[in-house]
Structure 1
Amino acid sequence: MYLEDTYGDQIQTVYRHFPLSFHDKALITAEAAEAAGAQGKFFEMHDLLYDRQNEWGQLADSALTDKLVEYAEELDLDTERFAQELEDHVHLEKIQAQGEDAVRAGLGGTPSYIINGVVYPTQEIGLSEPQVAGFIDLLGVIEEQYQEAPPSVIDPAKNYVATISTTKGDIVVELFAEQAPLNVNSFVFLSQEGWYDGLDFFYVDPTTAAYSGDPTGMGWGLAFPGYICADEVSPELSFDEPGMLALFAPAAGRNSSLFFITTSAQPEWDGGYTIIGQVKEGLDVVKSLTATQPGGTAPDTIEQIVIAEQ
């Protein structure tokens, strides 16, 4: 399974029943899965039932029980024990209790997923494997968020250079501390904290820009470090040439860790984003970054960002 392969022994999957009243066969099929589970084949029965709904979905109770026993035989279970547990409703109380727990938790239906105690927002972000992995990574980020905006770590009157070391080479950027002191300070702070180390260029369009600074790799545009900075749009700065380093935010005044570096002139972006620097060396590296989108091909990665005062 994808999550087990991705996270190894860091993840444990626990299944809970949530039989809905308008599914008249939800209880008996849940009992069948539990009876199979008592013989070590819960998910084998669960998956078989899911795949063959067209075979049993319209059967009457007695015919359904016979069909479930057939499935048990197909899975090499002790069919006599299996049938007896169904007849005696050995697992019914457990299933009903789990359903009551789901109602108390406010779950809206099935399937519902709870990750580290947080209900996964299936409707809002979908259920692809990369999105689930991104949500898990997001929960990890929340645990490490800063409680307030960073202290001042720069002098706006001085000059600073950031060397962004990537898997494709170094990108050297002159930072505009005078024009965007709050946002440059945040970028420098996060860089010095090692916050960007190991993050992907999660979205790269070779014709416009390369984006990074999202620990989930999904481009959700959240305030991942735990704080935001106001916009600092300077009339002195423009996207009229490639190599501009700017912050990406989902709405005005919500700059955080996400940034992008342009690969071409984008003057129509002027006024929409806070520019915090310009590439002085390594624009070819930016242009060589692997073209990708969230969940797409394997992206290039930031190894570290080193800040130097000039």
Structure 2
Amino acid sequence: MNVLITGASGFIGQSLVSKLREGNHHVRVLTRGNPTQENEFQWNPNEQFIDEKALENLDAIIHLAGANISKRWTKKYKKELFESRINTANLLKKYCQKNNIHLIAFISASGVNCYGTFTSDEILNEDSRIIQNDFLSKLCAEWEQAADQFSDLSDRVVCLRTALVLGKNGGVFPFLRKITDLNLGAAIGSGKQWMNWIHLEDLVNLYVFALEKPTINGKYNAVADDIPPNKKFMKTLARTLCKFFISVHVPAFLIKLMLGQMSIIILHGSRVSNKKIKSSGFDFQYDKLQKTFKTLI
């Protein structure tokens, strides 16, 4: 397939581009800088511009563009988080309509935070009620609404509600390993919040699966099987690294002071089910947390 990817230079995007090329897909990427390779095409969302050559004979779009969620959420940065996801999707739709493009699939990133910010033992699935009770859940809801606009331009629209992505060279794992290596690993806040996660390799394979399997359509949770509370998550990492685990919890107020509103990402979490994507035929390679940590150290 001819596949156009936004956010191709990011942590997930780089791995996905390599995987798609291994599968003999013809990958095109959108770049804000000057293109340096044949498969690169310039776009400037602020100027509402896309090089229309990127859309010629296009089969699918994978929309990964989005500012890093792990920076402090100032008022200005919240706007960037929103515009880098929603406005870019709107721009893609505008150009697809302009060029009469009909896609086989439009696949967008999303987040498990769409269910709302709270800690509960309830197991959430794709049919669970969306509670827009904070900035992040509202962002995810509008992110998915922007993707759903492609329903009249694409045979399928897929949103992958992604959990914490664990990878050796990006995401949150290098930071978690650093503090654990210093024997500073400890439960955060109550330690009872559920830690939804997925290995980078499984997530990349899931994007390819969603692209290639014609029955995949709609919303899917991209999350592994073994979802522990935060205390067990951090204790498992310390054990894997043969480091001490501090029994005293890091107080929630300290995390809030350090991170501001962004602290909700790690202070709250409910269990999310992957039953729907597994029943569709996807197999996770990394289904156990300790096994996953061992592959990353």
Q: TM bucket by the smaller chain?
A: under 0.3
Bigger fraction of residues in helix: 2
Q: TM-score, normalised by structure 2?
A: 0.25
